[in-house]
Structure 1
Amino acid sequence: MAQVRNKQVILSNYVSGFPKESDMEIVETTITLKLPQYSNEVLLKNLYLSCDPYMRNLMDKPEGAPNPLSYTPGSPLGGYGVSKVLESGHPDYKKGDLVWGFTKWEEYSLAPSAQIHFKIEHFDVPLTYYTGILGRAGITAYGGFFEMGSPKKGENVFVSAASGAVGQLVGQFAKLTGCYVVGSAGTKDKVDLLKSKFGFDGGFNYKEEPDLDAALKRHFPEGIDIYFENVGGKTLDAVLLNMKLRGRIAVCGMISQYNLSQHEDVSNLAQIIYKRIRMEGFNATDFYPLYPKFLEFVLPHIREGKIVYVEDIAEGLGNGPAALVGLFSGRNVGKQVLVVARE
């Protein structure tokens, strides 16, 4: 049984406040590239890993009932990625299959078969897309916008964190539906990207807006029908004042709150009552049953160039901590991907 080195990104200690590169460490262990006898697990070679804001929440010291995915100091981080099957004890997967699902931040992983979500069957698009547009980010944008937003042609759509992995897709889905869409982002270059590459009707840099309520009124004088929520805090508070009667808010994330010990107050929640707003949170896994339908929708648009996707590629596990930490300062442009090995 061949033993090989297995480089890993481990959590050094539980995190308080904004994560730092020093909260993680690169180590080398060994792994036997052979399944245990009678195992129904899958031995994976990890190729591409997804860097996502939700991973920050898994670095907290658990209080009460822990999240089963929470990280333990001294153990590797976990997240979504694209992997190659080296050996399988499960009938659904065979040697050589390419899959995407939940894996560890390491070169090789021995994973329960339940952590593999889908076998990859379309290879005329970049494999990295399965960390984003054809993976968790894509089904998040699709389910959150279409299933929860229930968009209609001509409606007004606002997207926060609009240049990110999910936001850039929501904006393009909105335009394909015939909606008017505006996004917010954290730099001028990202705002320009919204309009020049993703086809948004408008955008603004929230860091340069002293009054978010005024900024929204400038872009949505008649109000907002659908808000795709990625940020929370002050942005959500301002949006509530600008929602239309019976507007819909799909709550995907609240990245502005993840690193705060005390969350910002949202004082305009009564608008939900006055305007009969439907506001609902969701998880990507809620929409996994729709994955085949999602692929039927999105793949032709990608092939025809009607949907574009921007990725920010970091090479090598050694750059993993910097790539992950960079999400919280807006260092990345588009979907942050970490390359472990190229197929």
Structure 2
Amino acid sequence: MAKIFYPNFIIKRLFSNKIQAQKYVLTKHFQGEPKRSDFQIVEEKLPDLKDGEILTEAEYLSVDPYMRAYMIAYKLPKDMIGGQVAQVIESRNEKFPVGSYVSGEFGWRTHTVVNPNTWKTSKFLPINIVPDVSPHPLSLGLGLLGMPGNTAYFGLQEICKPKEGETIVVTGAAGAVGSHVGQIGKILGCRVVGFAGSDEKCEYLEKELGFDRAFNYKTCNISAALKEGAPNRVDCYFDNVGGEISTKIMTAMNKFGRVAVCGSISSYNDPILPKVTIVQPAIVFKELKVEGFLVNRWSDRWDEGVNMNLKWLNEGKLKYQEKVYHGFENMVDALVGMLRGENTGKAVVKVK
């Protein structure tokens, strides 16, 4: 009798009741840089699926700056937060068939049982089918076509509202969000100036992504760089890093300038918050609009951002780089590396 061979995802489906998830649990609040000893990897037995639920297996996991900041607020022990692209290996939801790929804020875990229908009504970002972007990698669902891409898309256009011919300055410009912000700025017809942490990153921003100027904040005089790079001063500032550099940029802004505050990665690992020059005089006398934001504000328009970024990608108007780490056991190393600025573009972990 001939043997019957099943695809891997069918085998996983048949034996899903035997799958145990592995997950990272934070057991100690970070002191300085995150450490492996701050976490435990534990196993979790998964329940049988109910109507509407799916079982997913992680393919790519995300490491992002917000993780370092957000975990401080949680009571421990706490499952580690974060996004992932995962394959559906069992389904009782017709909208999410077996073999499809989804993106979701499932955390640092290998397998997840979830109901996408009820997930939409929670505080999390929606669970979405990852579109076929071949020959590009599925990991774009965590970057250009995911949370960082929409952070750039909505944060720049809804908070800064740049006009053609204006000057945009971006800090953390070589990261997943900053590199995307700068490219959207160029699409909109603006002058774009970026600050990044190495000469190599600055060269990439100028020669590959089309930034008008890029400066190494570690070696340049910030005020002099702004005079050179933004001769007409700054209209929009997309702030990813905070700190003294943000004060200097806001001081160099035009009247009625707009500031989108996305993060403050420059101080996330500091045990004592740095003291910086006060920024209020610049805000008052230049009548600046300064607004912080979280991207889930636009969760009801999520597909709009993904579809526009995909359109620009297909038109050749958006480029990307990824820093890919390998192995579920190396999640902490990837997080630390990203916080140190090892990545150009999005940092992701390929689980296997």
TM-score, structure 2 normalization: 0.86
8 Å contact kept, 1:79–1:104: yes
> 2:269 matched to 1:259?
yes
Q: Which residue of 1 aligns with 2:34?
A: 19
Decide whether aligned partners of structure 1 residues 182 and 57 sit closer, same or farther in structure 2, where only a CA change above 3 A counts.
same
Q: How far off is 1:188 after superposition?
A: 0.9
Q: Which residue of 2 aligns with 1:66?
A: none
Q: How far off is 1:262 after superposition?
A: 2.5
Q: Which residue of 1 aligns with 2:81?
A: 78
Decide whether aligned partners of structure 1 residues 76 and 94 sit closer, same or farther in structure 2, where only a CA change above 3 A counts.
same
Q: How far off is 1:41 after superposition?
A: 4.5
* Local SS of the residue matching 1:49: strand
> 2:158 matched to 1:144?
no
Q: How far off is 1:230 after superposition?
A: 0.2
What is the distance in 2 between the residues matched to 1:56 and 1:256? 12
Aligned residue identity for 2:129: I
What is the distance in 2 between the residues matched to 1:202 and 1:187? 14
8 Å contact kept, 2:85–2:142: yes
Alignment of 1:1-343 (within 5 A): 2-25=17-40, 27=41, 29-32=43-46, 34-35=48-49, 38=50, 41-60=53-72, 62=73, 70=74, 72-73=76-77, 75-88=78-91, 92-111=95-114, 113=116, 114=119, 115=124, 117-120=126-129, 122-124=131-133, 125-209=136-220, 211-260=221-270, 261-341=272-352
What is the distance in 2 between the residues matched to 1:217 and 1:298? 32
Decide whether aligned partners of structure 1 residues 6 and 118 sit closer, same or farther in structure 2, where only a CA change above 3 A counts.
closer
Q: Which residue of 1 aligns with 2:8?
A: none
* Local SS of the residue matching 1:138: helix
**Aligned residue pairs: how many?**
328
CA displacement 1:178-224 (0-9 Å, x = unmatched): 11101001111111111111110111110112x32222122112210
Gaps of 5+ in 2: 1-14
What is the distance in 2 between the residues matched to 1:241 and 1:39? 56
8 Å contact kept, 2:125–2:296: no
Aligned residue identity for 1:147: E
What is the distance in 1 between the residues matched to 2:277 and 2:53? 45
TM-score, structure 1 normalization: 0.88
What is the distance in 1 between the residues matched to 2:255 and 2:69? 33
Decide whether aligned partners of structure 1 residues 184 and 318 sit closer, same or farther in structure 2, where only a CA change above 3 A counts.
same
8 Å contact kept, 2:146–2:306: no
Q: How far off is 1:24 after superposition?
A: 3.1
| Identity across matched positions, percent | 35
What is the distance in 2 between the residues matched to 1:169 and 1:50? 17
Q: How far off is 1:30 after superposition?
A: 4.9
Q: How far off is 1:145 after superposition?
A: 0.8
What is the distance in 2 between the residues matched to 1:46 and 1:21? 20
RMSD value over aligned CA atoms?
Answer: 2.1
What is the distance in 1 between the residues matched to 2:227 and 2:75? 42
Q: How far off is 1:300 after superposition?
A: 2.3
Q: How far off is 1:51 after superposition?
A: 0.5
Q: How far off is 1:121 after superposition?
A: 5.2
What is the distance in 2 between the residues matched to 1:204 and 1:188? 8
Q: How far off is 1:268 after superposition?
A: 2.4
Gaps of 5+ in 1: 63-69
Q: How far off is 1:312 after superposition?
A: 0.6
What is the distance in 1 between the residues matched to 2:225 and 2:137? 37
Decide whether aligned partners of structure 1 residues 44 and 116 sit closer, same or farther in structure 2, where only a CA change above 3 A counts.
farther
What is the distance in 1 between the residues matched to 2:201 and 2:230? 20
Aligned residue identity for 1:72: L
Moved more, 129-138 or 115-124: 115-124
Decide whether aligned partners of structure 1 residues 57 and 188 sit closer, same or farther in structure 2, where only a CA change above 3 A counts.
same
8 Å contact kept, 2:34–2:332: no
* Local SS of the residue matching 2:126: strand
Aligned residue identity for 1:271: A
